[in-house]
Each structure stands twice: as structure tokens, then as C-alpha cells.
């Protein structure tokens, strides 16, 4: 009987405690590394959408490789080969880039991004490394598909 009374008192105390309002719950701040990686990816987006190889190159390490599937086989391009496919142009209309996720562990990170144009959706997975306090895309694995009209 004594145990039951103690249990009931404990349940009442726990349930009667005031819960914080939603706006009182702290949201975690982005780390400096997270913000820096967002900046690298934004350079990539801006370069890709305008054909500005200087911006794309700034985001990628010299050793960066692009990998994708073409005709059922894995194809690989080094940074120079990849950049040679871009020509300066006005910013693509109805196109944008979006960061889906970023995961950081010490000096290594991965990011999933999407680039959407009027007719295609590109999904890229970046591996990034931090060298001399600066983040670089060191590898890119990519896929894309034609958008279906509704």
C-alpha cells in the first residue's frame, strides 16, 4: 500500500511539471564547418547554373573526380574533363540548386544535393575534405533523370 501511494505521488509530480513552450526549445546552431560547406556548395551551384568554371573549380579540389553511369557502365571524369563541358551562359531560368543533407565528421563530410532544371533533375553526392582550414569537394557521384510532366 505504501509503495502504491509513493508511485501515485511520483506520477502526479512528473505529470504536473510544466513543459516548455515550443519557442523555448533551443534549436542547434550551425557549426562553422557546416556554414563553410554550404558556401562551397553555393559556389558549385552558381557556377553550374551559369557555366562559370572559375566558381565550380573553386569548389572542387584538384584531385576531384566525377563518377556517373552512362550506357549501363560507370564513367569517370577528372576535374579538367568535367570543367571542359561548361560554357559561360546566362543563368539558367527555372533552375535551382538545393542542399538535401550535410553530414560532417572532423575533417570529412558528405553532402547530397539536387540541381533542378526545367526538364531534368540531377542528384549529386559529394565527398568533401577539409585541407588547410578550407573545405573542398573531392569526389562527386551523380545521377539524373528526365522530369515527367504532370
Which CATH number characterizes residue 74's domain?
3.10.450.50
Strands 60-70 and 134-146: parallel
pTM of the model: 0.78
Domain of residue 93, residue span: 31-146
Round to whole Å and give the CA distance between 53 and 90.
13
Give residue-wise pLDDT tens across range 33-89: 999 999 999 999 999 999 999 999 999 999 999 999 999 999 999 999 999 999 999
Residue labelled with grid coordinates 542528384: 123
In a domain? residue 116:
yes
In a domain? residue 21:
no
In a domain? residue 51:
yes
In a domain? residue 11:
no
| Four-point Cα dihedral 98, 131, 108, 44, nearest 10 | 10
In a domain? residue 142:
yes
Can you give the length of the chain in residues?
A: 150
Overall domain count for the chain: 1
Tell me the β-bridge partners of 75.
Answer: 68
* Set of cell numbers at residue 34: 557546416
In a domain? residue 114:
yes
Amino acid at each position: 500500500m505504501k509503495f502504491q501511494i509513493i508511485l501515485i505521488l511520483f506520477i502526479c509530480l512528473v505529470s504536473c511539471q510544466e513543459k516548455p513552450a515550443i519557442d523555448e526549445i533551443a534549436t542547434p546552431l550551425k557549426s562553422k564547418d557546416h556554414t563553410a560547406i554550404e558556401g562551397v556548395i553555393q559556389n558549385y551551384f552558381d557556377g553550374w547554373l551559369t557555366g562559370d568554371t572559375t566558381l565550380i573549380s573553386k569548389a572542387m579540389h584538384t584531385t576531384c573526380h566525377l563518377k556517373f553511369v552512362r550506357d549501363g557502365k560507370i564513367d569517370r571524369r577528372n576535374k579538367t574533363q568535367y570543367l571542359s563541358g561548361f560554357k559561360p551562359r546566362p543563368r539558367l531560368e527555372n533552375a535551382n540548386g538545393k542542399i538535401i543533407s550535410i553530414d560532417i565528421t572532423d575533417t570529412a563530410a558528405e553532402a547530397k544535393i539536387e540541381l533542378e532544371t526545367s526538364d531534368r533533375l540531377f542528384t549529386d553526392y559529394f565527398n568533401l575534405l577539409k585541407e588547410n582550414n578550407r573545405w573542398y569537394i573531392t569526389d562527386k557521384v551523380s545521377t539524373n533523370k528526365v522530369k515527367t510532366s504532370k
